[in-house]
Chains A and B, each alone.
Chain A
Amino acid sequence: MIVDVAIVALKAFLVVFMVLNLAGILGWVERKGSALIQDRIGANRASILGFAGMGLVNTLIADPLKFLTKEDFVPPAGDKLLHTLAPCMALFPALVTFAAIPFGDVITLGERVINLQVANLNVGILYVFAMGSLGVYGIVIGAWASNNKFSLLGGVRGSAQMISYEVAMGLSAMGVLMVYGSLDLQEIARDQGALISTLLPPALGFLQPVIGWLPAWGVFLQPLAFLLFFTAAVAETKRIPFDLPEGESELVAGYHVEYSGGKFLMFFAGEFAEVVTAAGVVVTLFFGGWQVPYLMRDGFHFPWGSVWLLPQITVVILQLIAFTVKVLFFCWLQILLRWSVPRFRYDQVMRLGWKMMLPLALLNVVVTAVVIIAAQ
C-alpha cells in the first residue's frame, strides 16, 4: 500500500515539476522567439560574469528574482483576501489538469505494472474539461478584487470568452470520443496505436493502400475536430489571437493590471502552464499521445511486415521522448501563432465561438455518428 502511494506521489511530483519548468522555459522561448520573429535581439542585458546565454539569464534568473522581490501591493479599496486568492485560483487548474494526461505506456517492474499517468480516471477527458471550467474563477475573482473598471471589463470579457469556447471544445472532442469509444485518456492514447487498415469498413476497402498504413491518430480520423479543438484551446488559454481580455494595447493588462510581484508571476506562470496543458490535451486526443508510429510494446512492427524487437526500457524511453517532442511542438506552435496573427475584436471572438465553431462541431458529431453506424 505504501509503495503504491509512493509511486503515485512520485509521478505527481514529476508531472508538476516538468510542467512548471516547461512553463518557465516557455517564457524564455517566447521572449527570444518573438525577438527572432520580429528581427530584433530581445532581452539580453542581464548577465552573470559576462555570460548572457541568449537571454536565458535574463528570463530565467533575473525576471523571477525581480518578480519575487517586488512590493506586494493591494489596491486600497480592493478586497485583500480575494486579491491574494485569485492568482492561486488561476494557477491551480492549469497544473492539476495534467494529472489525467498519460505520458507513456506501462512500465513493468517485476510483477508491478505502473501506468504512466498520474490518475487513471474512467472519466479522463471530462476531468480535463471540468478543470478548464474552474479556470474561469481566477479571472473573475482577479478582476473583481482589483476594484478597477478596466480590470473588471477585462475580467468579464475573459470569462465570457472562456465559457463560450468551453462549449465548442467539448463538442469538438465529442467526435474523438465517439471514434475511440472511451472517456479514458490512456485508452484513447492506446487505441491510436492501431493502423487505420484495421478500422476501415469493408465498404471503404479501396482506401486501404492510400491511408491504411497510417496509425489511427485522431488527426487522421477527425481532422475538422482537430482544427476546432485547437482553436478552442487557444481561445481558452486567452492567448493571441484571442487575448482581448488582456488586451495589451487596449486595457493595459486587463484583469491582472493591479497585480505585481509574486502574484503576477503566478498569473504569468499559470498562463504558460495552460499552454503546456492545452498542448498536452491536443497531443493526447489527436496525435497519439505517447505513441511512436508502429512502435508496439515489444518493438517496431512496420506495416510492410518487418519487425524490430527492442528491450522494454528502450520502448518506454522512446515513448517518453515522443510525448515530450509532440508537446514541445504544440507549445512552439502556440507561441508562433501569438506573434503572427493579429488580435480578434471582441464581437468577432464571440461570433466565431457561437456562430461558426458550434455549428461546425455539431456537424462533425453528426457526420461521425453517420459514418460509425454505416460502418457496422
Chain B
Amino acid sequence: MMPLNYYLILSAVVFAIGVVGVLIRRNLIVVLMSIELMLNAVNLTFIAFSRYLGSMVGQVAVFFVMAVAAAEAVVGLAIIISVFRQRQSLDPQDMQILKW
C-alpha cells in the first residue's frame, strides 16, 4: 500500500489538468468532460483518505458525488443541446449575450 501522499499528489495533478482543460478549451463538451475529470480527482482523494482513516464516510461521499455528477452531466448536456440548436456553435466565446 502506497503512502497517502502519493495518492494526494496524483489526485492534485489530475485536478490541475482538469482546471487547465476548463480554461483553455473552446468546446463546451470538452469543458464538461474536464469538469468530470476534476470530480474524479476529488473522488480519488476521498477514497484514499477513507482507506487511511478506516472510515466509510469517504466512500459514502464518493457515492453521492457520483450521483450528483451524473445528474449534472445529464442536465449540462441537455443545456448544450439547446444552446447548439439556437446558436449552431459549441464555442463558449459565441455565447456572450449575458455579458454586461
| A contacts B: CB pair < 8 Å | no
Query: Which residues in A have some Cβ–Cβ distance to B below 8 Å?
Result: none
